[in-house]
Amino acid sequence: NNKLPNAPAPGTGADCHSWIMSMANLGIMGGKDPHEIEADLRRAIPRGKRRLLNSEIPDAINKAMNDLKGGSFVPRRKPEPVVKDGKAARQRIIDQAKITTEVDLFEASPIRLWDDPKGDPVLLLETLYEPTDLVWIGERHQTGINTIMAVQDWIAYIRCGGKAGPHIIPNPMTGQEGTTKDGKPSFRTDNTVKTYRFCVAEFDGLSREDQIRFWSAVKLPIAALIDSGGKSIHAWIDVQKLAKVETAEQGEANIKDRLYSQILVPMGIDSQCSNPSRLSRMPGHYREEKQAWQRLLWLSKDGQAIC
């Protein structure tokens, strides 16, 4: 496991295939479940100049099992979506909504929201985090350590007149440097997320009114709804309420394979939102290009269905 972060990218000169074979052999010799080996290797290998064949990792594990254990490896089939007709299921949820306007959603929030969105950053941080949690806040392309501070330091900074950036990673970070899927060093990657607490969900192409109806009626533990200052509403779903998640890796596998692939994506949720270091809009930021505030529409300390 300690060698997994050093995976060579396919097609960059280093022998990625040999590395896969070596890791597969080590995993089988160590008695690790072959399905866990496959998942670990898929997460560890960065994007490269060539496309990693879907069969490369299973074939390597199968060879390792055959050579070392006299057995074979059969990958698990991708589960069928729980939601068969996503559009119809989404419409049924929308039709059940009792909250239909932004004002009603705002008034229903368990945590009383400020009328002035300038107070939203501190309210969000105080409600959903411990003072010592490390949180990334900044511009979309910022990756340095200076964008990660303890929540108590962010609050002090904002109260002294500092402005919170337009984006936030909802999940606490380690503060350590990791590598992106492209093999580049960064402090804000999936492998530098400390705890997977929240997944971000947003719709592509659904009207704002129907987004409000959907999130107010769907039976999911919602910690926050954030007006992006544009067309979309960002929902933070409390993944700890959905499954036991001890690591970011476990969380990504559970949320991506179950909640997203089987339920949310068929209903029109953006499929790219499921990774632990996904950015969300930070409430309390004014978008000059839109002439609109990013603001809290709903906030719950414990995460709960709205209606």
Which range, 42-46, 79-83, 221-225, is most confident?
A: 221-225
Mean pLDDT of the chain: 89
The residue with tokens 């929308």 is 94
Provide the pLDDT for residue 184: 79
Residue 6 reports pLDDT greater than 70: yes
The whole-angstrom separation of Cα 85 and Cα 205 is: 17
In 3D space, the residue among 261, 236, 96 whose CA is nearest the CA of residue 171 turns out to be 236
- Could you tell me how far CA 33 lies from the centroid of its own chain? 25
Q: Which of 60, 62, 74, 67 is nearest to 15 (CA)?
A: 60
Question: pLDDT per residue over 187-244, tens digit each?
Answer: 998 889 998 899 999 998 899 999 999 999 999 999 999 999 999 999 999 988 886 5
Residue 146: predicted pLDDT? 86
Cβ distance 237 to 220 under 8 Å?
yes
Distance CA 22, CA 45 (A): 13
Whether 1 has a pLDDT exceeding 50, the answer reads no
7 in Cβ contact with 16 (< 8 Å): yes
Query: Would you say residue 136 has pLDDT above 90?
Result: yes
Give the predicted TM-score (pTM) of the model: 0.78
